[in-house]
Structure 1
Amino acid sequence: MPQAHVQPVPTGETPPAVTDNDDPLLAVVLQSLDDDQAQDLVTIDLEGKSSIADFMVIASGRSTRQVAAMAQKLGEKLKANGFGNPRIEGLPAADWVLVDAGGVIVHLFRPEVRTFYNLERMWGFDGPSGAA
C-alpha cells in the first residue's frame, strides 16, 4: 500500500494550513479540533491514494466526555459552515468516535484506545511524534 502524506501537529500548536491544498472542509475540521484542545492531531493526505476521502484526521481527547464533546461540536460547526450533516458513529461509548464529513474522515480517540488501534501505523506513520 502506498504511504500517505502525514502532517503531525504538536499538542498545543495551531494546525498549519495544508500546504498543497487549501481545502475549506479540512480547515473547519482542524480549527474546530484545535478550539476544543484536541491532542496529538495528525492529518493524513489520502487524495489519490484512497477513494474513502481526501483527508483523514486522527486526534485524541483526554476523556470520553471530551471525545464526545469534540465530535458533537465538530458536527455543529460543519453544519453551520454549509458542509451538511456529517455522519457520527461511536458517541454512546465515546472511546472511538468516527465523524464522516465526506471529503474528510475524522477519528477521535481516548489515548489508550488510539494506541491499541494505531491507525497512524496502518497508514504508514509511526505515531503523532514520529515521521513518515
Structure 2
Amino acid sequence: MAQTRPVSSTPDADPAGALHALVLASLDDDQALETVSIPLTGKSSIADYMVISSGRSTRQVASMAQKLAERIKRERGISARVEGLTNADWVLIDAGDVIVHLFRPEVRSFYNLERMWAFGDAPPVPPAPAA
C-alpha cells in the first residue's frame, strides 16, 4: 500500500522575494534604522538582495540579528550564517538569496557599503513600506 504524504502549501513563486520580504518585515518590527535594499539580481551571483540597516547600539544590533536568524529558520527553514555577533558592531547574516548587514551607525558610515554596492549612478532602492 502506498503511503501518502501531507500536501504541503504551494511553494513560493519567488522564494528570494519572500525571504527578502521576511527580512524587511523583521527589521521593521525591531525598529531598525535607515534600512536600504540593494537588488543584486543580474549584477552579482552572491545573492539576489543585499539589505543594509542600523541599530542604535551593539545590544540592538545583536538582538535584531538573533531574532532575524531565528525567524528565517522558523518561517523559511533556512539556517542563516551569522558573523560578528560577539562584538555586534557589524553583523553579517547570510541567508543565501539575501545577505543582511546590520551596523552601529558609526561603523556603517565608515564602511559605506551602500556606495560600494551602488551600480552606476543609481542609488540603492529604499524598501517599499510593509503592507
Structure label with greater radius of gyration: 2
Within-5 A mapping of 1:1-132: 23-124=17-118
The TM-score, its normalising length taken from structure 1, stands at 0.77
The structure where helix makes up a greater share of residues is: 2
Distance in 1 (alpha carbons) for counterparts of 2:69 and 2:48: 18
- Unmatched segments (≥5 aa) in structure 2: 1-14, 127-131
- Unmatched segments (≥5 aa) in structure 1: 1-20
Q: 1:79 and 1:106, CA in 2 relative to 1: closer, same or farther beyond 3 A?
A: same
Q: 1:93 and 1:49, CA in 2 relative to 1: closer, same or farther beyond 3 A?
A: same
Matched residues, number: 109
List structure 1 runs of 4+ shifted beyond 3 angstroms: 125-129
The TM-score, its normalising length taken from structure 2, stands at 0.78
Q: 1:128 and 1:27, CA in 2 relative to 1: closer, same or farther beyond 3 A?
A: closer
Q: 1:128 and 1:55, CA in 2 relative to 1: closer, same or farther beyond 3 A?
A: closer
AA in 1 matched with 2:18:
P
SS in 2 for 1:23: helix
Residues 21-62 of structure 1, C-alpha deviation per residue, up to 9 Å, x if partnerless?
981100110000000000000000000100100000000000
Structure 1 contact 25–83 (Cα < 8 Å) conserved: no
SS in 2 for 1:70: helix
Structure 1 contact 40–128 (Cα < 8 Å) conserved: no
Distance in 2 (alpha carbons) for counterparts of 1:127 and 1:50: 15
